[in-house]
Amino acid sequence: MTPRPLTITGGRLVLPEGEPVAGALRCENGRIVAIGNVSPAEGDDVIDARGALIAPGLVDLGVFAIDKPAFHFGGITRAALMPDQGPPLDHPARVRFAAQSGKPDFWVHPLAAATRGLEGSELAELALMREAGARAVATGRNWIADSGVMLRLLRYCAMLGLVVITHAEDAGVTGAAVATAGEMATRLGLPSAPAEAEALAVARDITLAELSGCHVHFRQVTTARALDLVRKAKARGVPVSAGVTPAHFMLSDLELADFRTFCRLSPPLRSDADRKAVIAAIADGTIDVIASGHDPRGPEDKRLPFADAEPGMAGAETLLPLTLTLVRDGHIDLARAFDLLAGAPARLLGVDAGRLEAGWEADIALVDPVRPWIVDSDKMAASAGNTPFDRRPVEGRVNALFKGGKLIA
């Protein structure tokens, strides 16, 4: 059923550029029809934002599970689902099912598995999966080690007009490592790999992106060296982009001190110098996307010796407040924050969402950017509360969330 026309008044509009401006927004038939100096029409539902930010719903690029209560809490209205499912999203029927799975109050954009079974050897049925609703192609949790396979993949995806989302760690170097080589890994006796494993993977895939003309998106770039490669590739006009999760600009490998398995991530936490390099790369535009990496893991995966625990964190609920710390610290402004969280991921997926624009989907969040709360792993809406930010005070909460102009949270 089509929702009644909606007008949101008394808020501050988060636009693609500049500071938020006082104004209103009107939606009809699930789409934004007017922004700015807008008055409600007769018969509209009217909501007073009471000074809150009127912002686009977040678009989370690369989640491992669809956890609607957690996404709605975090202001996320769409998520790109990684192909690492059981079974993998390497078949059109699975992609079609995933694309329908969240509607009507949440949209899932499946990422097609690059190779059959995500094994890195034989290309999957990419064209058929695109027809079934895949919005991009992903290598999953792993890097494709065979450069010939990767080049074929990129050439085919360039022809299909699909972005390839890749994991950036050379598995031949990382092996069974669970930490970044350095003083902390040595002190704790953890299997570790040099941070350069990331730069090696990024360097190769930049070269292949340049050769094929295919847009490559590095889902997480977490080291100064690899970020510098991306920065220089962009300057040359190579079609590459980069993402990161809040863990890698908020935390360093010092967090591993007590063998905290909630800090067992992939890629692993880096040195503090790399953490600062990530912040600089967000500030200068080298990093395009901040995503949650949402990967809820229960006690059976996390209450193990550090080297045996599964990597991942439940990130959907903390994505917005942790990104807003970059605004409060003066690294970026609010317009840039919401481009990192919504605009840029929507562009990579090719969907009309992620910013407030007439004619686009009315996916809207009303956000109080200074509302304080404390992250509590025991009370999270996610199916598991494995967060490295447990007990951390944060600011920024979603007061209301609309999908296609309809109130959902």
Q: Residue 76 belongs to a domain with what CATH number? A: 3.20.20.140
Residue 239 inside a domain? The answer is: yes
| Sequential pLDDT tens for the chain (409 residues) | 667 899 999 999 999 999 999 999 999 999 999 999 999 999 999 999 999 999 999 999 999 999 999 999 999 999 999 999 999 999 999 999 999 999 999 999 999 999 999 999 999 999 999 999 999 999 999 999 999 999 999 999 999 999 999 999 999 999 999 999 999 999 999 999 999 999 999 999 999 999 999 999 999 999 999 999 999 999 999 999 999 999 999 999 999 888 888 899 999 999 999 999 999 999 999 999 999 999 988 887 888 898 888 888 999 999 999 999 999 999 999 999 999 999 999 999 999 999 999 999 999 999 999 999 999 998 888 888 889 999 999 999 999 999 999 999 8
Assigned domain for 11 exists: no
* Residue closest to 287 by CA, chosen among 330, 329, 246: 246
What is the number of domains present in the chain?
1
Query: ω into residue 321 within 30 of 0, thus cis?
Result: no
Query: What's CA 367's distance to the chain center, in Å?
Result: 19
282 touches 243 (CB < 8 A):
no
* 22 part of a folded domain: no
Q: Is residue 203 within 8 Å of residue 194, measured between CB atoms?
A: no
Domain that holds residue 69: 58-353+372-393
**Residue 280 domain-assigned (yes or no):** yes
Give me the long-range contacts of 159-163 (CB less than 8 A, separation at least 24). 160/126, 160/127, 160/130, 162/112, 162/126, 162/130, 162/134, 162/136, 162/137, 163/136, 163/137, 163/214, 163/215, 163/216, 163/217, 163/348, 163/349
Q: Which residue has the tokens 């018969």?
A: 43
The DSSP 8-state label assigned to residue 258 in this structure reads G
- Inside any domain, residue 185: yes
- 3-class DSSP assignment, residue 125: coil
Is 4 inside any structural domain? Answer: no
Which region, left, alpha or beta, applies to residue 312 given φ > 0 means left and ψ of -120 to 50 means alpha? Answer: left
Residue 190 within a domain: yes
On whether residue 342 sits in a domain, the answer given is yes
Is residue 323 within a helix (H) or strand (E), and if so which, with residue range?
helix 319-328
